[in-house]
Every structure is written in C-alpha cells, then in structure tokens.
Chains A and B, each alone.
Chain A
Amino acid sequence: MISLISIIEGLLLIVPALLSVAFVTIAERKTMASMQRRLGPNAVGYYGLLQAFADALKLLLKEYVAPTQANIILFFLGPMITLIFSLLGYLVVPFGSGLFVSDYSLGMLYMLAVSSLATYGILLAGWSANSKYAFLGSLRSTAQLISYELILSSVIVLVILLTGNLNMITIIESQRIVDFLLPLFPLFIIFFIGSIAETNRAPFDLAEAESELVSGFMTEHSASIFVFFFLAEYASIILICVLNSILFLGGYLCIIPVDFLISILNTVFSIDNSILEELFSNVSSSPLNLALKTGLLIFIFIWVRASFPRIRFDQLMSVCWTVLLPLVIAYVVLLPCIVYGLDALPTQILL
C-alpha cells in the first residue's frame, strides 16, 4: 500500500513535469515565431497546441538506427541516464507551502549532485556512438557543463551563506525577509547566464549549433532515444528555471506583499473574515507564484535564444574562467565579510 502511494506520488510529479516539457517546446516555437514575424506551428490542434504530441508520436514511430560499431548498451543507456537524472531533480522541489515529494534536509546538495551526474549520460552517449562527430560534440558539451557548474555551485554557496541551511523550504522561507534577488543582484545575473550555459541553450549551444555543426553528441541518436535527450534537455531547462526562482525570486512566496495589500484594503472597507481575505491568504504561498516566476524565466530563456548570436567556443570558455569565475570568487570573498561585519549571520533555531 505504501509503495503504491509512493508510486502514485512519483507519477503525480513526473507526468505534469513531462507535460510541461511538451508545452514548453510549443511555447518556445510560438514565441520565437512571433519574435521573427512568423506564424509558427498552427495546424495540429487548436492554435497548434498539440504540435509537441504530434512530434513525439512521429519520433516514437520512427525506425531507430543504431550504428553497427556502436557500443549498444551504453548507446541506449546514455539518453536514459540523462533523462532520469534531469527528472530526479524535481524530487526535492517545494512547489507550494507543504506541497513537495521530499523535504530533504540536504536538498540543495542533492540537486547539485543529480545535475552533475546528468553529464555522464552525455559523455556515455557521445563516446558509445563510435562516431567522431558525436565524440567531439560530447567532449565540448561536457567541458562546458563542468565549467559552468563551478559558477552555479559557487553562487549557491553565497545563497547558503544567507540562509544557513541546505533545505529548499528553509531557503524559500528565509526569503520572507527579502527576495535574495536584491542582496545578491549581480550573482542572480551570473547565475542566470550560468544556467543558460548549463542547459546548452543559445547563445551557448555550441554542442549542437544547428546551422554550423552536425547535432553534437546526439548525432547518431534517432527516434525514441532522441526523444529521451529532447525531454531531458527541456526538463532541465524547467528545473533550472525553478531553481532560479527558488534561490533568488522567493519560490512559491507571493510577489505582492499580501499583508500590505490587505492593510491597504482594510483602510477602505473591512475585508476581515471575508472571501477576499481567504483568497489572499491562499494566494500568498500557492504554487501559482512559482509557476508565474518560472514561466517568466523560461520566457527570458527563449527571448535570449531569439536575440543573441552564438559565441565561439573559446569565447565561451574564457567568459566562464576569466570573467564570471573571478567575479563570483570576488563576491565569495566580499559577502561573508559584509554578513559577518553586520553580524547578520542567520539564526540556526528553526521557527
């Protein structure tokens, strides 16, 4: 019975995650289309909404071709590892107040660990295909992921400094004081750039620069195993946008200060014990807030993809190691001094 409940719990998380992946792909195509003054997909379903499902169906029904010289087991294992690890990250995400699968005390650490393990899938897939294109693509991709992960984890260290806890829920709840967007403003920008690079998105999509290279580490992958890579890519985009909003934008906390709004409305007419107060108190920590923030960040991801030209690989690496990393390390030195100097280390007594 308990195992059945946990299976249902897992499905309740994974199915909406995969559905949102499908709709993010269609949202991306529609948004980019309107930015480029095209129509975008508009034939399948109303307003082209079912295009993603049609694409998935096409890919699943295709014949898959495995290269004869490929290491077949690793060839199929690679995409699976990537997808599984990008979905495992959803386990510790608090979607609303009390709405989570696992309230893990080391949630942040777990998320970092799982997201770094997804790199192995790319490495395995690229190596096992026994093709030079795939192998070089996977090397480039892995180098990029490992470099930018360093920046992400260094920024996370500073968030941990302000919360004093690795638990995701504590990180969100400690932003009831102030969203960490304000005290860590430059680090949010760095983290956002890092997360674009970490998910292999334009303008950092050198692993599969469509107009210039063959498709990188997934050159030899087709049909259903290609779907796995595709799903993993978009699942990790959504996950990293969720992570951005949890770390800097206050996760499921409301953007508008609800207490303030209620006190203003109370000066005009009394709303105590009315349906309006009930509504406000439900909105103040509902999953809708997280969805709104994540949606905004995903829109910025797409906007960036539509706006910026792709940079060269050496530029990508030098931006990481000679620009972003020294900046982050400078803040890693500076911010503990400020926090310690103000005597503002967070209390460890959980309220």
Chain B
Amino acid sequence: MPQDMPPVGGYTSVQYKRNVPARGFKPVYYLVGMHMIMAYGFYKYFHGVREQRELAREKIWSRLYLTPLLQAEEDRDQVRRHLADKAREKELLGTEQKIYNSDRFIRPTYVYTPSKVTQ
C-alpha cells in the first residue's frame, strides 16, 4: 500500500493572509486617545487629592484649636463637682475630712449613672 506522501515538488502555497480592508483610525490614535483620557483622569485626581488634604488639614487644625476650649469646659465641670462633693460631705459628716493621707490634689473620679436603672 503506497504511503501518503507529499506530491512531487511539494504542496502549493496556501494564501493565509486575508486582504481585509483596514477599518477605524490608526492604532496610534487609539493609544494617544487612551492616554489623553488617563491624563484628564490624573488631572482630576491630582486636584481631588489636594482638596482631600486640605480638608484633612482643616479637620486636624480645628481639633487642635478646639482642644483648649474643651479642656476648660472639663476643668470647670471638675471644679464644680469637686466643690459640690465637698459641700455634700460637710453636710453629711459635719467636718471636712481628708480620706487620703496626703496633701497632694487627687483628681476624683465621678461615675455617671442614669437616674432610673432598669437592668
């Protein structure tokens, strides 16, 4: 049985290249267009990050400026409670008694409890 062999002189060439008409723009225009979009995006992004930083700076500085005010309010509250405590103690015990064996000012701790405890 004769084996399948290529024909004498070899196969004829196959036309594999298709002659399709080129459509659309040149590829370089797409490349440039894409990077124009990117450039616009980064332009917007740059300004957005600037604004974000400005907002963050504003937030930090507003907190810094508020700190003394908040501290003063807290101190006033502390003094008021301290004096009220003293007065209450004097009313109950008759004398002012120190409970700590020291002259140092010890910051009292106040626990806030609701007036009506349900649980």
Partners in one complex: yes
Task: Please give the residue numbers on chain A whose beta carbons come within 8 Å of chain B beta carbons, in ascending order.
Answer: 162, 174, 176-178, 180-186, 338, 342, 344-347, 349, 351
User: Which residue of the partner chain, among B40, B49, B59, contacts A177 with CB atoms under 8 Å?
Assistant: B49
How far is it, in angstroms, between the C-alpha of A345 and the C-alpha of B51 when the chains are bound?
A: 12
Q: Is the CB of A347 within 8 A of B48?
A: no
Cβ–Cβ contact A185 & B37, under 8 A = yes
**Is B38 a contact partner of A344 (Cβ separation < 8 A)?**
no
- Bound Cα distance A347, B54 (Å): 10
* Residue of A177, A180, A184 most packed against chain B (CB within 10 A): A177
Closest to B52 in A: A347
Which of B1-56 touch A at CB < 8 Å? 34, 37-38, 40-42, 44-53, 55-56
**Which of A181, A185, A347, A349 is close to B49, meaning CB atoms less than 8 Å apart?**
A347
Q: Are A177 and B44 in contact (CB under 8 A)?
A: yes
Task: Give chain B interface residues in 80-107, CB to chain A under 8 Å.
Answer: none
Contact B45 A183 (CB under 8 A): yes
- Give the shortest distance, in Å, between A335 (CB) and chain B (any CB): 9
Number of A-B contacts (CB under 8 A): 57
Closest 5 CB pairs between A and B? A177-B48, A182-B41, A183-B41, A349-B56, A178-B44
> A347 is contacted by which of B40, B42, B46, B56 (Cβ under 8 Å)?
B56
Q: Could you say which residues of chain B place their CB within 8 Å of the CB of A185?
A: 34, 37-38, 41
Residues of B within 8 A of A183 (CB): 38, 41-42, 44-45
Are A178 and B60 interface neighbours, CB within 8 A? no
27 intermolecular pairs with C-beta atoms under 8 Å apart: A162-B45, A177-B44, A177-B45, A177-B48, A177-B51, A178-B41, A181-B41, A182-B37, A182-B40, A182-B45, A183-B38, A183-B41, A184-B38, A184-B41, A185-B34, A185-B38, A185-B41, A186-B34, A338-B42, A342-B42, A346-B49, A347-B52, A347-B53, A349-B56, A351-B52, A351-B56, A351-B59
